[in-house]
Amino acid sequence: MDWKAKIQGYYENGNYTEDDVQRFVIRQRITQQEADEIIAKKVDKAEESAE
């Protein structure tokens, strides 16, 4: 299962918070680096839409 893609989809749709994403790091489904990438990607999209 591609956990990163699944978590990223839920996070971008607003179903998960940053804390929820971090829980998957604790459960060893994704790495901390992947969690940081997921969170950063949503921030980048929000900045683009604000422009």
pLDDT, tens digit (0-9, with 9 covering 90-100), for 22-48 = 999 999 999 999 999 999 987 666 666
Distances (CA, A) of 21 to 31, 41, 47: 10, 13, 20
More confident residue, 25 or 51: 25
| 36 burial level (CB within 10 Å; 0-12, 13-18, 19+) | middle
| C-beta separation of 34 from 4 below 8 A | yes
The pLDDT value recorded for residue 48 is: 67
> What are the extents of the domains in the chain?
3-50
Residue 6, CA distances (Å) to 3, 21, 51 in order: 5, 11, 28
